[in-house]
Amino acid sequence: MGWLPGLSNATANGVLASVIGYQKDCRAYILARSAANTANAFIGLAALFALSRMRNGVMVALSTPPLPPASALFVVGVLAACVAYLITVTLSRSAHLLGGIEGQWLHGSAIAFVIAICLLLTGPFGGFILLLAILIGLVPYMVNVPRMYCMGAVMVPVMLYSFGIAWI
């Protein structure tokens, strides 16, 4: 997914969800999602170096001059993956403590954190954009359309623009 413009982790995970349902096989679903996210990061790096094209926001940040050497980025990526694995395995021993957390409280806290960080980093204009994004995100729910199908509204124009077929 990281090679083509407009295709993201969300797209890959949406396709995976239709093939490997979470209800069918939880372990395979989580493994497939993690593999897709990791592959997307490395393929995005490959696209940055091979085509000099950014496929996501992280690649835009990395592309600022001077561009780090590819070997350094890949070594840091592998090291970060190994450290993340060790942290996950270590913290998984304490996962049973999270079982008692109220779901509504957790959801509300996550929403409050996102709103606060958005307002802190972007101010009132960012808060307005967040409000618009929330309203747009509610449309598929209100018209009973799966959100995955709405990805085409973003993917098709980005792909056409990137391939030089359409212009903005």
Write the burial class of residue 119 (CB in 10 Å: 0-12 exposed, 13-18 middle, 19+ buried): middle
Q: pLDDT tens digit string along 79-92?
A: 988 998 899 888 88
What is the rounded distance in angstroms from the CA atom of residue 168 to the CA atom of residue 166?
7
* Calpha distance 5→163 (Å, rounded): 9
Whole-number Å distance between alpha carbons of 68 and 40: 19
CA separation for the pair 46, 74 (Å, rounded)? 10
Could you read off the pLDDT of 21-68 as tens digits, one per residue? Answer: 666 677 777 777 777 777 777 777 777 777 777 766 677 777 777 777
**114 — pLDDT class (breaks 50, 70, 90):** very high
**Is the model's pTM score more than 0.75?**
no
